[in-house]
Structure 1
Amino acid sequence: MTVPLDKSGPADTPPPAAEPETIKAIPVRHYGRWISAAVVLALLALLINAFATANVRYSAIPDYLFNATVIEGLGKTVLISVLAMALGLALGIVLAVMRLSKNPVTSSVAWGYIWFFRGTPVYVQLLLWFNLALIFPYINLGPIYRDEMSDFMTPFMAALLGLGLNEAAYMSEIVRAGIQSVDEGQTEASHALGMSQGKTLRRIVLPQAMRVIVPPTGNEFINMLKTSSLAAAAAQYLELLRSTSDIGQTTGATVEMLFLAATWYLILTSVFSVGQFYLERYYARGSLRALPLTPWQKVKANLASFSNRPSGGVTA
């Protein structure tokens, strides 16, 4: 039987769909944010007004900002902070390796060192170092060095030992945490390739541990800049706070010089914070898919997103 062919032509195509209507996006109103912002701005205005109307001669701050005595104290603050941090970092690495050692003697000695220096205030330690000549009149290192303790333990040396040895206790824990963050398979693979324990630590473990070590180390250095002010009271070291305080006592502008010291401390911490950011960014290579944006890149990205923001409605 022959089936007749369908000669009716193709089915009628449906009419094109109408374009979706533009949706008017109405932003959600966050009244709590406006209220909290108004409260914060009001409190900030009251604080600024209180300091603006206070009996403070603010013109003395720029007058003495670059005073020779202040600049000398500033240089000594940076010097003692850098040297004490370097001493703390070097000794902290040694203590961290000792803590991780399987030798019970070295690990116990390292634990005792950390226990003592973390358990006593740094101000007390500075006082002990500065007054060490009261119990040890001489320092005798055999054929290497021998002198009176009062001549050896200068204010600079007392500040360096007090700050550096105290910092070593904290740095050892930071370095130990960084070393333990590296997978043990890295060490096992390097030993399988014939690398010694020391070479494995230098070339494999520490470079990978730096991304964990650097952020808290930067914070410790910034804290060291501020802790160095204790050396003025404990070890009679003429750093930034001591130099500004001396000027305040001679000129009568005591509070103004404290504001001046705070200004320089803020400048120092801001500068070193920028350096810490770029150091962290450097050691983040290989561990992040995309490196964090620099401050200038963030500004350009925000400006670009603001200029490309659509002005009309949102289509479905």
Structure 2
Amino acid sequence: MSEPPGAAVSLAEAPSADAPSKPLAAQRVLPLRRPGRWIATAVVLVLVAQFVHGLTTNPFYQWDRFGYWFLRPTILDGLLITLEVTAYSAVLGLLGGVLLALARLSKSPVLRAVSWTYVWALRSIPLIVVLLFLYNFSALYKTLSVGVPFGPAFFSFDESKLATDMVIAVIGLSLNEAAYAAEVVRGGILSVDQGQHEAAAALGLPKSYQFTKIVFPQALRSITPNYVNQLIGLVKSTSLVFYVSLLDLFGTAQTMGATYPGDIVPLLLVVTVWYLILTSVVSVIQFYVERYYARGASRNLPPTPLQQLRTGLTDLRARIRREAAV
């Protein structure tokens, strides 16, 4: 015999014979216990506490000397050179990457072959080798000239006078950066739907207009966040320009460490903290750039760190109220 609707009562809702029944609104579902998560959290907190304790109490770090060196003019001068090299290399590397990507996507087999060979070679050769080769470039070509190919030269100039330490560092980093930026730009262009290309061609628009007004703006959604991420690697790569006699942040710390051997560890900590600050700034820029370009691809934008903090505090207060009510 079938029960009428609503007559069936589950065991969880049925009151026991020994205990008084509670209204459904007062009943509470207990969460599943996860002891493994709490144990892992406790272990991680203990390890973090030990690391912080050793970092602050070990006299070998010499935090007083760290404070002395952190804002010294010589350190700030090296930091300024690091920022200049990064800025110049980022702009030139991106421009070179765009040209290489267009050549890679060209219908000309010569342009495709040359672009592929460049990207393959520069991504295979270590950056320090490129910098050292450029630093000794004057030994191979003492003078450079401009004129008719395989013919007379209009004028010549001394390569050693033109290639200063700053120029060598910027050129070396830009050549290396262009190889990676080319793949970022090429991937962004290929990410644009093929229908966009066909629609632009169906309208009879010139190729240059199709690229600048239709294809490239859409490709920027993929290019910009990825290239900003590439800048983090570029900031760290600037530490190698010390080997071409350019005293950037790392080079300045190395020089001061040779003069003051007892301050090597504090100077390395100064360099570490400054690089952490620079990469953190780039990471913040990357977050907001990605958030900006996600407007057309996502219904809900990723929350900012401040919004995440507010949400976390709101959830914590709500949880405390629920615990207190029970």
Shared fold (TM-score greater than 0.5)? yes
Between 1:252-261 and 1:38-47, the stretch displaced more is: 38-47
Between 1:136-145 and 1:179-188, the stretch displaced more is: 136-145
Q: Give unpaired runs (5+ residues) of structure 2.
A: 1-21, 148-152
Of 110, 114, 117, the match for 2:122: 117
* Corresponding letter in the other structure for 1:40: V
After TM superposition, the score normalised by the length of structure 1 is 0.88
* Counterpart in the other structure of 1:68: 73
Which structure's CA Rg is the greater one?
1
* Counterpart in the other structure of 1:275: 285
State the 1:306 CA deviation. Answer: 3.0
In structure 1, distance between residues paired with 2:183 and 2:171: 19
Of 137, 161, 165, the match for 1:132: 137
State the 1:248 CA deviation. Answer: 2.1
1:25-36 correspondence runs (5 A) = 25-36=29-40
SS of the aligned residue for 1:147 comes to strand
State the 1:131 CA deviation. Answer: 0.5
Of 196, 217, 240, the match for 1:207: 217
1:173-188 correspondence runs (5 A) = 173-188=183-198
1:225-252 alpha-carbon deviations (Å, 9 max, x no partner) = 000000112x111100011222222223
State the 1:293 CA deviation. Answer: 1.4
* Corresponding letter in the other structure for 1:295: P
* Counterpart in the other structure of 2:150: none
Is contact 1:93–1:175 with CA below 8 Å preserved after alignment? yes
Q: Give unpaired runs (5+ residues) of structure 1.
A: 1-17
More helix by share: 2
In structure 1, distance between residues paired with 2:230 and 2:52: 31
Kindly indicate whether residue 106 of structure 2 is the aligned counterpart of residue 95 of structure 1.
Answer: no
In structure 1, distance between residues paired with 2:324 and 2:63: 52
In structure 2, distance between residues paired with 1:155 and 1:285: 43
Of 43, 48, 58, the match for 2:47: 43
In structure 2, distance between residues paired with 1:173 and 1:226: 20
Which structure is richer in relative contact order (CA contacts within 8 A, separation 6 or more)?
A: 1
State the 1:27 CA deviation. Answer: 2.4
Kindly indicate whether residue 198 of structure 2 is the aligned counterpart of residue 193 of structure 1.
Answer: no
In structure 2, distance between residues paired with 1:145 and 1:86: 29
SS of the aligned residue for 2:63 comes to coil
Kindly indicate whether residue 254 of structure 2 is the aligned counterpart of residue 250 of structure 1.
Answer: no
1:82-102 alpha-carbon deviations (Å, 9 max, x no partner) = 111111100101111111111
State the 1:312 CA deviation. Answer: 6.3
SS of the aligned residue for 2:302 comes to coil
* Counterpart in the other structure of 2:110: 105
Kindly indicate whether residue 131 of structure 2 is the aligned counterpart of residue 146 of structure 1.
Answer: no
Rate the CA distance shift 1:88–1:245 in 2: closer, same or farther, 3 A: same
Rate the CA distance shift 1:161–1:21 in 2: closer, same or farther, 3 A: closer
State the 1:196 CA deviation. Answer: 1.2
In structure 1, distance between residues paired with 2:222 and 2:36: 38
* Corresponding letter in the other structure for 2:136: N
* Counterpart in the other structure of 2:306: 296
**Identical amino acids, percent of aligned pairs:** 38
1:259-270 correspondence runs (5 A) = 259-270=269-280
CA RMSD of aligned residues (A): 2.1
Kindly indicate whether residue 235 of structure 2 is the aligned counterpart of residue 225 of structure 1.
Answer: yes
Rate the CA distance shift 1:144–1:220 in 2: closer, same or farther, 3 A: farther
State the 1:313 CA deviation. Answer: 10
After TM superposition, the score normalised by the length of structure 2 is 0.85
* Counterpart in the other structure of 1:157: 167
* Corresponding letter in the other structure for 2:249: L
Between 1:40-49 and 1:267-276, the stretch displaced more is: 40-49
Is contact 1:130–1:154 with CA below 8 Å preserved after alignment? no
* Corresponding letter in the other structure for 1:175: V
* Counterpart in the other structure of 2:28: 24
Is contact 1:136–1:149 with CA below 8 Å preserved after alignment? yes
Is contact 1:24–1:313 with CA below 8 Å preserved after alignment? no
